[in-house]
Amino acid sequence: MYDCGVISTGIIGASGYTGVELLRLISAHPELDVVFATGDSQAGTRAADLYPSLAAAYPDLVYAPWDQALLAGVDLVFLGLPHGASQAIVPSLVEAGVKIVDLAADFRLLDAAAYPQWYGEEHTAPHLLGQFAYGLPELFRSDIVGADKVAVPGCYPTAGNLALAPFVRAGLVEVDGIIVDAASGVSGAGRPPKPNTTFCAVDEDFTAYGLLDHRHTAELDQVLGTTVLFTPHLAPMNRGILATCYARPTGQLTTDAALEVLHAHYDDEPFVVVTAGSPSTKATLGSNTAHVTARVDPRTGWLVVIAAIDNLVKGASGQAVQCANIISGLDETTGLPIVALYP
């Protein structure tokens, strides 16, 4: 257990949705203390003015421009920057010797050659890729324990990999031809306004996007060691991801046996609920808990695995705090909600 008192914490890129979610979660954390929060586009703005929901916990916090001098005396840094921006900052963080939890995709992929393919540009710090643990504790906890740098998974891969990994790792499904259909709330697109994420564009609509080339496909392929056909959808809700995953069993498999695979893998996990019912995004709202279930269709032979998460908590900031707890020697559940908001 961590025995050195409060952990001085900085958040680089704290003005977006993952940043405000980090601030919300850390406000209830007994060991993490936010000593700075940057937001270059909001520098000089009080966090409580941009997000009134933070006013009670952070009445005097002002977003600062990024400056390496902010690292003085800091133990742990979260990065909530846009994809591609962490690469320019992480080398200086490594030099400063702080623990790093990056919520962007910059250090998730092991192969530097995958970044031009999926993110459209060369990686500027490829020598650091192998130094980051992949921050999905339920699947990679042994890699995270003792690490000082963690790359938090994307929201879609968190849901899809939690659903499918127990079956893939047990050799119970074919590794080619896996399908992941997933729907996300609009907060997954970030805070800056976009023509396709305004209220009028999203309300009363449901659409697929990123057809055949969504960047999170690379994480699904990497974690599962498979070839995944991934189709994301935008749903008219603020938060949540529902992933419906399809795979061909390698042998005889029943629904009861499939559920037992999930129970065997997750019953000791504090942030995964295996349910016989159908998971829903509402059941995970505001919590760091994933809900999963499975069915085997005797008519077609397909295995169907469904996972629901809150994309901003278990799919981003909550998982980041979970990983920060692990690398800091704290109990993994510290400061994290397991019960969702309802109604």
251-272 pLDDT per residue, tens: 999 999 999 999 999 999 999 9
Average pLDDT over residues 94-123: 97
Q: Is 231 exposed, middle or buried (0-12, 13-18, 19+ CB in 10 A)?
A: middle
Which residue numbers are catalytic? 155
Going from the C-alpha of 138 to that of each of 129, 159, 266, 290, the distances in angstroms are: 21, 12, 8, 11
Q: Give CATH 3.30.360.10 domain extents, the chain.
A: 155-314
The pLDDT assigned to 2 comes to 37
Q: Which CATH number fits domain 155-314: 3.55.50.30, 3.30.360.10, 3.10.180.10, 3.90.600.10?
A: 3.30.360.10
Handedness of CA 205, 339, 100, 41 (dihedral sign): positive
Going from the C-alpha of 111 to that of each of 118, 196, 221, 337, the distances in angstroms are: 11, 31, 12, 34
Residue 5 — very low, low, confident or very high, per pLDDT cuts 50/70/90? low
197: part of which helix (H) or strand (E)? none
Q: What is the CA radius of gyration of the chain?
A: 20
The pLDDT assigned to 193 comes to 79
Residue 310 — very low, low, confident or very high, per pLDDT cuts 50/70/90? very high
The model carries a pTM of 0.96
Give the integer Cα–Cα distance in Å for 37 and 64.
6
Please answer whether residues 155 and 136 qualify as being in contact, where contact means their C-beta atoms are separated by less than 8 angstroms. Answer: no
Backbone phi and psi for residue 213, each to the nearest 5 degrees, phi listed first: -140, 20
Average pLDDT for the chain: 96
- Return the closest-CA partner of residue 321 out of 53, 89, 170, 135: 135
Q: Give CATH 3.40.50.720 domain extents, the chain.
A: 7-152+315-327
Average pLDDT over residues 228-252: 97
Query: Does the pLDDT of residue 3 top 90, yes or no?
Result: no
92: part of which helix (H) or strand (E)? helix 86-96
343: part of which helix (H) or strand (E)? none
Give the integer Cα–Cα distance in Å for 149 and 151.
7
Residue range 270-298, pLDDT digits in tens = 999 999 999 999 999 999 999 999 999 99
Q: How far is CA 37 from the centre of its chain?
A: 20
The more confidently predicted of residues 181 and 189 is: 181
The pLDDT assigned to 120 comes to 95
Give the integer Cα–Cα distance in Å for 325 and 333.
8
The CATH fold assigned to 7-152+315-327 is Rossmann fold (3.40.50)
Share of residues in the chain with pLDDT > 90 (%): 96
Average pLDDT over residues 70-78: 97
Residue 191 — very low, low, confident or very high, per pLDDT cuts 50/70/90? confident
Give the integer Cα–Cα distance in Å for 265 and 191.
35
Please answer whether residues 183 and 234 qualify as being in contact, where contact means their C-beta atoms are separated by less than 8 angstroms. Answer: yes
Give the integer Cα–Cα distance in Å for 129 and 105.
11
**Non-local CB neighbours of 293 within 8 Å, separated by 6+ positions:** 259, 262, 274, 275, 276, 277, 278, 279, 305, 306
